[in-house]
C-alpha cells in the first residue's frame, strides 16, 4: 500500500514543506508536472457545505381567550427559571384571576423529551409557557 506523505502530513496538521529536507526523499526522482512547468490541479472544498432544506412547521392554534384556562409553567431547571415562572404566576393571579397556573419541572436536560409531562399538559392544560435557560 502506497501512502501519499503530503496528504498524510496535511491531515496531521504538518506542512508538507518538512519533506523538502528529508533524506528519504532525496533519492526519489522528481515528479513531472508542476516542477517541470506544467499546470497543477488543486482541489478545494467549500467550507460552508450544503445546508439541509428548511422545513416549515405551522404555529399551534391560538386560544381566543385565557379566561378559565389552565396554563402550565414549565422549567428546564436552569438557574433562575423557577423564579421567573413564579413571577408570571403572580402576574396571572393579580391580573387574570380566572386563569389557573401550574408549575412543573421538566425531567432531563434541555434536549431530552419528557413524555409523561407532555401527556399531563395535553390532558389537563390549555397552554404552556416554557422557560429555557440562557
Q: Please list the pLDDT of the chain residue by residue as tens digits (134 residues).
A: 677 777 776 776 666 555 555 555 555 665 555 455 567 888 887 788 788 899 999 988 899 999 999 999 999 888 889 999 999 999 999 999 999 999 999 998 878 889 999 999 999 999 999 998 76
Q: Is residue 99 part of a domain?
A: yes
Domain extent at residue 125: 70-131
Q: Is residue 46 part of a domain?
A: no
Could you tell me the sign of the dihedral formed by the alpha carbons of 90, 93, 95, 101, in that order?
Answer: positive
Q: Is residue 80 part of a domain?
A: yes
pTM over 0.85: no
Q: Is residue 8 part of a domain?
A: no
Q: Is residue 79 part of a domain?
A: yes
Task: State the total domains in the chain.
Answer: 1
CA-based nearest residue to 73, from 132, 7, 8 = 132
Q: Is residue 119 part of a domain?
A: yes
Amino acid at each position: 500500500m502506497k501512502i501519499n506523505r503530503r496528504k498524510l502530513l496535511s491531515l496531521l496538521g504538518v506542512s508538507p514543506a518538512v519533506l523538502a529536507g528529508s533524506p528519504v526523499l532525496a533519492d526519489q526522482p522528481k515528479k513531472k508536472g508542476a516542477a517541470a512547468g506544467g499546470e497543477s490541479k488543486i482541489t478545494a472544498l467549500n467550507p460552508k457545505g450544503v445546508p439541509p432544506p428548511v422545513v416549515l412547521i405551522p404555529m399551534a392554534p391560538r386560544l381566543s381567550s385565557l379566561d378559565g384556562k389552565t396554563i402550565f409553567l414549565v422549567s428546564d431547571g436552569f438557574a433562575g427559571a423557577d423564579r421567573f415562572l413564579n413571577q408570571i404566576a403572580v402576574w396571572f393571579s393579580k391580573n387574570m384571576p380566572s386563569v389557573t397556573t401550574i408549575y412543573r419541572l421538566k425531567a432531563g436536560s434541555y434536549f431530552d423529551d419528557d413524555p409523561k409531562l407532555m401527556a399531563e399538559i395535553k390532558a389537563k392544560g390549555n397552554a404552556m409557557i416554557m422557560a429555557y435557560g440562557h
